[in-house]
A and B are shown apart, each in its own frame.
Chain A
Amino acid sequence: MQTIFASPKHGQELTQQKSDMKILVCISKTPDTTAKIAFTDNNTKFSGEGVQWIINPYDEWYSLVRAIELKEADPSTAIHLVTVGGSECEPIIRKALALGGDEAYRIQCEENDSYVVAMQIAAFAKAGSYDLIFTGKETIDYNGSSIGGMIAAELDYSFISHATKFDIENSNAIIIREIEGGEETTSTPFPIVVSCQKGMAEQRIPNMKGIMGARTKPLKTIDATPTEPLTSISTFDLPPAKAGVKLISPDQPEELIRLLKEEAKAI
């Protein structure tokens, strides 16, 4: 990336713009939000049987769309997509390409440990010297909220999590992030890793042109960087079923309040 100094016009301040920015968007697949959660192999693996895979909503709705908007505002921006996983991720990354992005990479690797996944992306990002790396706030299956922070630490980039707005001003990233009970506006120089959530952008639906175009966009497979996992999954299990609802007559809401106080001891 270069910093371009626009020549000042009469009475105008010298403005600094960002151009040729390289953005890496991390795309993860997850089971559809309504998928039945079941396990196999002695409860050590998620049963993918009959499951519809989708792009993790935070990646699709927020980080990818915001990256596309940045490119729409400045066409010199390059957007690369990366996913870590097996060949079953390909339809997902193609769908992401139909929304936008210039090229995509799939790193062939098991995705059992967040550290291993993050080190794959970090090694890839290091080689590509990206200015900006977007991840989602979390994957809705593993709920790790880990990959973004791990990539940032490995690359020694700044890290901003739970971003709700992203803009560029005077070569700095202006990011609004969520904090306890509110929001905070921050200004940070690049390079930077940002984990994205609601607010960043409005969900888009791929159009025909995008879908057709995605077929010819490059999707390359690369080999994993050997990495020792730091954790391993022992088992999965499901929570016990609820005993069933106790219904109270709509004429007696005071009975509900009494039960909440005396039986459930919740108020």
Chain B
Amino acid sequence: MNTLIYIELNEGKLKKAALEAASYGGDIAKKIGGTANAVVLGECTDDLSELGAYGITNVFHVKNQSTTSFDARSFSKMIAEVVKAQNANILVFSNTIIGKSLAPQLSVMLKAGLVTGAIDLPKTENGFIVKKSVFSGKAFSEVKILTDLKIISLNPNAYNITKGEGKANVSVIETAVPENKVKVTAVQKVTGEVSLSEADIVVSGGRGLKGPENWGLVTELAELLGAATACSRPVADVHWRPHHEHVGQTGFAIAPNLYIAIGISGAIQHLAGVNRSKVIVVINKDPEAPFFKAADYGIVGDAFEVVPKMIEAVKKIKQGA
């Protein structure tokens, strides 16, 4: 058995989601036997042999002209070639924007059953069954993969990174170089912020904050906690905050360790994007706000009074530490 993990890079660096996928693939290999290998496309400034510590034996590194910008069609063709050359039986992706554009293409190219949004190791006692999140986090489904080659795309923040010892063998390999039809002409990155999908802590604001001029409360608390910032849909709709911060059923779905919701009512469509968070804290002045039903900790109070005190308290423990 061979498990092959697609290792995603962001600006030439290993992503947290990639280390989760490596740990996950490494654990699959431990569970069912065989080795876990990695495939990486594009230049990487991190030391790829470090992937050995997450359970990876061999790293196949493809670097050619077509890996310098992202064309999902070309990337899929190159990955398919590596899967075939390595006789992989299980292929693992991260269920990120990149993974979502690649895994379905590989499923068709290799006629391999795909489960996206996996949240746990496959069960193998009775067929090959993968548990995934469905109905925007409101339910789970166990899906059986019926083909010999299996593709799993792992939800970010769903599997713990396990770091041990060891170095992987890194080899640069050649594949055919498909022509990129997608030309990237401009990149607009929001710099200096923690990425929402990978954040351990997210501080989020809703309409209860009254206006963009009050967002200092959210950003200051977030900065102190090393957190990403998010918002409810109406807040993004009226442009108090950028669209990429909108979480929920029709925005981002996130699963941080800690989600702090300030002045958000907790409508079912909002909860759909955040209900996989491990710990939920709600600050709302209305004791009847539905969000309290989904919360672990809550304060019924005015955000404009409560949040500044929270900021002071965090500052204190940071000084104490």
Contacts and interface: CB of A to CB of B under 8 A. Distances in A.
Interface stretch (A16-24, A65-73, A90-98, A227-235): A227-235
A181 B193 contact: yes
Interface in A32-62: 33-34, 37, 39, 57-58, 61
Interface string B155-190: 000000000000000000000000001111111111
Contacts of B139: 37, 39, 236-239
A153 interface: yes
Nearest to A183: B188
A78 interface: no
Given A115-B108, A150-B104, A256 B73 contact: no
Contact of B186 (A115, A157, A185, A229): A185
Interface stretch (B23-31, B52-60, B211-219, B307-315): B307-315
Contact of A156 (B73, B115, B253): B73
Interface in B274-321: 275, 278-279, 281-282, 292-302, 305-307, 309-310, 312-314, 316-317
Given A141-B135, A231-B113, A267-B314, A198 B201 contact: no
Chain B interface size band reads 35 or more
B243 A250 contact: no
B314 A257 contact: yes
B183 A162 contact: no
Contacts, number: 273
Contacts of B145: 230-231
B121 interface: no
Given A146-B107, A245-B295, A37 B138 contact: yes
A58 B141 contact: no
A141 to B, nearest CB: 6
Contact of A153 (B96, B104, B133, B136): B104
A46 B62 CA distance: 43
Contacts of B15: 180
Nearest to A187: B183
Contact of B104 (A149, A184, A188): A149
A115 B107 contact: yes
A254 B244 CA distance: 31
B102 interface: yes
Contacts of B141: 233-237
B224 to A, nearest CB: 9
Given A182-B188, A239-B139, A253-B299, A158 B104 contact: no
Given A182-B188, A230-B111, A248 B314 contact: no
B246 interface: yes
A45 to B, nearest CB: 11
Which of A164, A231, A236 has the most chain B CB atoms closer than 10 A to its own CB?
Answer: A231
Nearest to B259: A266
Nearest to B101: A161
A208 to B, nearest CB: 26
B185 A186 contact: yes
A181 B116 contact: no
A263 B195 CA distance: 26
Most chain B CB inside 10 Å of its own CB: which residue of A118, A185, A230: A230
A181 B182 CA distance: 20
A188 B179 CA distance: 12
A248 to B, nearest CB: 5
B187 A182 contact: yes
B243 A184 contact: no
A144 B301 CA distance: 39
B145 to A, nearest CB: 5
B105 A149 contact: yes
A178 B96 CA distance: 11
Contacts of A159: 72-73, 101, 105
Given A33-B268, A114-B114, A161 B97 contact: yes
A186 B134 contact: no
A144 B116 contact: yes
Contact of A256 (B109, B129, B246, B299): B299
A259 interface: yes
B306 A250 contact: yes
A148 interface: yes
Nearest to B192: A181
Contact of A182 (B109, B190, B296, B298): B190
A260 interface: yes
A248 B181 CA distance: 56
A212 interface: no
A186 B183 contact: yes
Given A184-B188, A188-B182, A260 B193 contact: no
A127 interface: no
B151 to A, nearest CB: 9
Contacts of A153: 73, 76, 104-109
Contact of B317 (A34, A39, A261): A261
Interface centre among B109, B184, B316 (most CB of A within 10 A): B184
Interface of B: 10, 15, 70-73, 76, 95-98, 100-109, 111-117, 129, 132-147, 181-191, 193, 195, 197, 201, 225, 236, 243-244, 246, 249-251, 253, 257-258, 268-269, 272, 275, 278-279, 281-282, 292-302, 305-307, 309-310, 312-314, 316-317
14 contacts: A37-B135, A118-B108, A161-B72, A178-B244, A231-B115, A231-B144, A233-B141, A233-B144, A242-B295, A247-B292, A250-B301, A253-B310, A256-B281, A266-B278
